[in-house]
Amino acid sequence: MIILDGKKTSHDIKEEIAVEVNSIVSSGGKTPHLSAILVGSDGASETYVNAKVKACAKVGFQSTLIRLSEDVSEEDLLAEVKKINDNSDIDGLIVQLPLPKHINEMKVTEAIDPKKDVDGFHPSNIGRMALNLPTYLPATPAGILELLKRYDVETSGKHCVVIGRSHIVGSPMSILMSRNNIPGNCTVTLTHSRTQNLKGITKTADILIVALGKAEFVTSDMIKEGVCIIDVGITRVRSDKNKSGWKLLGDVNFEDVKEKCSFITPVPGGVGPMTIAMLLQNTLISTKK
């Protein structure tokens, strides 16, 4: 069994980006600039945004964090998005999700200039992705593709089963794995909460991508020998063993399945770190354009 090490791979990608930024800037080019909007003070969102800002500094990007209060109106948030769209110094914009209930997330996503949509969530970028045209790929699915590529996991002709159909992970992942690309060229089955006989389907997977948000849901009786497992899930649970009092669990019972796998991503240290690396890569692409 080979561990798909997202921590090391994301570190390598960040180093590659830092070298490129250094060469662009030293030859008189523009410093990449990512702007993030954070609404409210949700603990998890705060952690994710801070990690993104820190990663920007590490690779030599400029970043701007705009904090808006929990009760900001949709109109004011949209005005903030427009301001950033119109600011030619800013190459990429992310609005940290989820947003408070009174704000329509899709309306905000659609308001972002597709050329600055480095999260790859804008409908026109999702459409371009589906058509296999150059675009910003959503960061988490892009990170998974990059891991499969860098570890030479064979995907062509394989049966890929995806659990979960969210707009940010499962659904784009199913499209990407079915495209005529490397990695890609899989026969894909996309499953969700209404799927019948899930275990019967997952047992036929050569590649199993799990993104449903239920800790340790996938167990060894659900998989076949030699499967490659990508565990996207992150659930925080109480733990006396950790100093922080918390630990992170994936959607896969790692200890139970590991002996049956050819490849597997750990949690933490698998898909999670790759997401930020891909966001930086998308921002660099935007700057170069």
If the CB atoms of residues 153 and 209 are measured against ligand NAP, the closer one turns out to be 209
Closer Cβ to ligand NAP, 130 or 248, answer by number? 248
281 is catalytic: no
Residue 76 three-state SS: helix
Catalytic residue among 117, 119, 206, 251: 119
**Is 260 noted as a catalytic residue in this protein?**
no
Min dist. Cβ of residue 163 to ligand NAP (A): 5
Task: Name the nearest CA neighbour of 280 among 46, 69, 61.
Answer: 61
CB of 252 to ligand NAP, least distance (A): 11
The dihedral through the CA atoms of 147, 171, 250, 228 has a sign that is: negative
Smallest separation, CB 45 to ligand NAP (Å): 12
Catalytic residue from among 52, 117, 158, 206: 52
What residues line the site for ligand NAP (CB under 6 A)? 140, 163-166, 168-170, 191-195, 198, 211-214, 232-235, 271-272, 275
CB-count burial class (<10 Å; 0-12, 13-18, 19+) for 256: middle
Residue 80 or residue 283: which is nearer to ligand NAP going by CB?
A: 283
Q: Least separation, in Å, of the C-beta of 85 and ligand NAP?
A: 25
**Rounded Cα distance, 260 and 268, in Å:** 20
CB of 211 to ligand NAP, least distance (A): 4
With contact defined as beta carbons under 8 Å apart, do 81 and 37 qualify?
Answer: yes
Distance separating alpha carbons of residues 246 and 224, to the nearest angstrom: 32
Q: Residue 45 or residue 195: which is nearer to ligand NAP going by CB?
A: 195
Burial of 143-181, coded b for 16+ CB within 10 Å and e otherwise, reads bbbbbbeeeebebeebbbbbbbbeebbbbbbbbbbbbee
68-72 long-range contacts, CB within 8 A, separation 24+ = 68/37, 68/38, 68/39, 68/40, 69/39, 69/40, 70/39, 70/40, 70/41, 70/100, 71/100, 72/39, 72/103
Residue 212 Cβ vs ligand NAP, minimum distance, rounded to whole Å? 3
SS3 state at 86 = coil
119 is catalytic: yes
Residue closer to ligand NAP (CB basis): 20 or 256: 256
Catalytic residue from among 14, 96, 117, 281: 96
Which of residues 235 and 262 has its CB atom nearest to ligand NAP in the complex?
A: 235
Contacts of 199 (CB under 8 A, 6+ apart): 221, 222
**Which backbone phi and psi does 205 adopt, to 5 degrees?**
-80, 135
The residue number with the shortest CB distance to ligand NAP is 166
Indicate which residues carry an active-site annotation.
52, 96, 119
